[in-house]
Chains A and B, each alone.
Chain A
Amino acid sequence: MKRVITGNQAVAYGVILSRVDVISAYPITPQTTIVEELSELIANGRLNTRFLKVESEHSAMAALIGAATGGVRCFTATSSHGLAYMHEMLHWASGARLPIVLVNVNRAIGPPWNIWSDQSDSLSQRDTGWIQLYCENNQEVLDTILQAYRVAESVKLPVMVVLDAYVLSHTSEPVEIPTMEEVDAFLPAYCPDYPIDIQEPMAFSVITTPEYFLEFRYKIQKAMEEVPEVAKKVNDEFRSRFGRGYAAIERYGEGEAEVLLVTSGTVTSTSRTVVQKLKGNGTKIGGMKIKRFRPFPFEEIYEEIRGVRKLAVIDRNLSAGVGGIFAQELKASLYSREERPEIFSFISGLGGRDITPNLIEEAIQYTVEHPRPEEEILWLGLKK
């Protein structure tokens, strides 16, 4: 069934269809309507899920850590300062190897106070050991949640599904909603390896001396390294069942591009119109969408950028003192490679400012016209 729904409603459908056992959330700002939709369904008896209304985002994640340790499927949603407040517990969820799925609606972190789209909240959590997946449209949001549980429960790591504030969260568009039966066939019930069992008492997350701690972290890294293959298998199966799929990265536009525009989130969507428009205008322009930020798709990207001379990377985030975070990751991932395209790092759209087709075209034009960037950071649409 196709319905016209917002990104937040797409999240709610994804959660319902995933047969989540426990939802824990802090219901006040910066919460979104995701939790409102879900709590209403539970209150009306239409969703058989335990809803824990807690006093903070820190507690929301702590409650899910408890529930997931008990061996059930868990979900929470948050945004900006809420995600920041969860930080400590995010580390705990990955360290304890709990397959929790969290949806973060990308919003700026204040001050100055701002509630609009910006990736600084989720990218601030990049070292917490969570898989991070960015979405381009509301269909992808719903589908990614279904896939996220499969991947999380397979590699035993938590997943953060990320969507842009307003541009997806409050925007309505047609979304194909799969049936419960279809999703049940794709996403089986969660079977934890070590659920809490009072007949078989175990200790969880006890103090670990230097003798063993390194090995615990090594195993998390190894689990991350399994993600590309697991996610590909899950996506292939999803595609065969539903006719849609989302790779870690996606190339679009001309196959033999000299300049490649690199984006994530909804900027990719608008970029598709620009790349299409510039087709046949001399320089060969292509586009590359990065969906999976953690684990960063080093290998997939390297395969896709062979022959490309320049990358124009647009970051809707800023790591002050360094620059755009996606651009930094790309530089790091290509340093040891033989083929290294010139990387142009653009910053734009912070705090929800529109990244218009004109700005995207400006970035492409600059990249085409310059052999290398004149500055480390190129600001798009900056008022001077």
Chain B
Amino acid sequence: MIEIRFHGRGGQGAQVASKVLAVAFFHENYYVQSFPAFGVERRGAPVMAFLRVDQRPIYLRVNIYEPDHLVVLDPTLIGAIDVTSGLKQNGWIIINSHQPPEEFRHLKGFRTATVDATSIAIRNGLGSRTNPIVNTAILGAFSRVTGLVGIDSVALSIREEVPGKKNENAKAAREAFEEVRV
């Protein structure tokens, strides 16, 4: 079983990112379980979402305490909260940042990758300059870095799950797939 935790801020779409990635894995015949951190969401506050993926039916119905990988939609969360809490050794941390991954090497014991999902979102017209929608782009980076799910499945899932600008969102994921740095 693979367990993934998403960190974002309320309104950034961490929950949608988890769901879109779930459907991408589902298209590759995995069993999936996607859920938000159960709570009272507030815009801008740190939020989490979770994803379990397995080749067999998933019976475990508790929070994810020791994820295999992390997806971080907002780099300012690193340091503000303990994002690596429980993260397994050697797990990937995929961060939305214009900085190179070396900037996050202080997160010792883990592998870091960065992608400027914010710029990708803005140039694809996703959201606004002050509030770009980065949750689809970063999934392209996840696909490339982890190799766990194909970019075509991610693009297909985006087209199915995202309510608007389907082509732009899918294109953003493909661009992030190319541009992610490790």
User: Does A115 lie within 8 Å of B62, measured CB to CB?
Assistant: no
Contact residues of A: prevailing secondary structure:
mixed
Report if A167 contacts B (CB, 8 A): yes
Contacting chain A: which of B26-34, B102-110, B135-143? B26-34
Query: Smallest distance from the beta carbon of B16 to chain A beta carbons, Å?
Result: 11
- A4 and B23 in contact (CB under 8 A), knowing A166-B38, A170-B35, A171-B35? yes
How many of chain A's residues have a CB under 8 angstroms from any CB in B?
23
CB neighbors of B among A320-365 (8 A) = 352, 354-357
- A355 and B35 in contact (CB under 8 A), knowing A4-B19, A4-B23? no
Nearest A residue to B23 via CB reads A4
Report if A283 contacts B (CB, 8 A): no
Report if B45 contacts A (CB, 8 A): no
Query: Counting chain A CB atoms within 10 Å of each CB, which of B31, B32, B35 scores highest?
Result: B35
Report if A221 contacts B (CB, 8 A): no
A-side contacts of B32, CB under 8 Å:
4, 172-174
Nearest B residue to A265 via CB reads B61
In Å, the complex CA distance between A4 and B22 comes to 8
Nearest A residue to B58 via CB reads A173
A-side contacts of B59, CB under 8 Å:
269-270, 272-273
B-side contacts of A171, CB under 8 Å:
33-35, 61
Interface flags for B134-164 (1: CB within 8 Å of A; 0: not) read 0000000000000000000000000000000
How many of chain B's residues have a CB under 8 angstroms from any CB in A?
18
In Å, the complex CA distance between A138 and B19 comes to 15
CB neighbors of A among B46-80 (8 A) = 58-63
CB neighbors of B among A166-210 (8 A) = 166-167, 170-174
The contact of A270 among B22, B23, B26, B62, by CB within 8 Å, is B62
Report if A296 contacts B (CB, 8 A): no
Report if A125 contacts B (CB, 8 A): no
The contact of A269 among B23, B26, B38, B61, by CB within 8 Å, is B61
Report if A238 contacts B (CB, 8 A): no
A-side contacts of B81, CB under 8 Å:
none
Nearest B residue to A355 via CB reads B62
A-side contacts of B63, CB under 8 Å:
354
User: Does A167 lie within 8 Å of B26, measured CB to CB?
Assistant: no
In Å, the complex CA distance between A159 and B24 comes to 36
User: Does A172 lie within 8 Å of B61, measured CB to CB?
Assistant: no
Given contacts A171-B34, A173-B58, 18 further A-B contacts (CB under 8 A): A4-B23, A116-B38, A166-B36, A167-B35, A167-B61, A170-B36, A171-B35, A172-B19, A172-B33, A173-B33, A174-B32, A266-B61, A269-B61, A270-B59, A270-B60, A273-B59, A354-B63, A355-B62
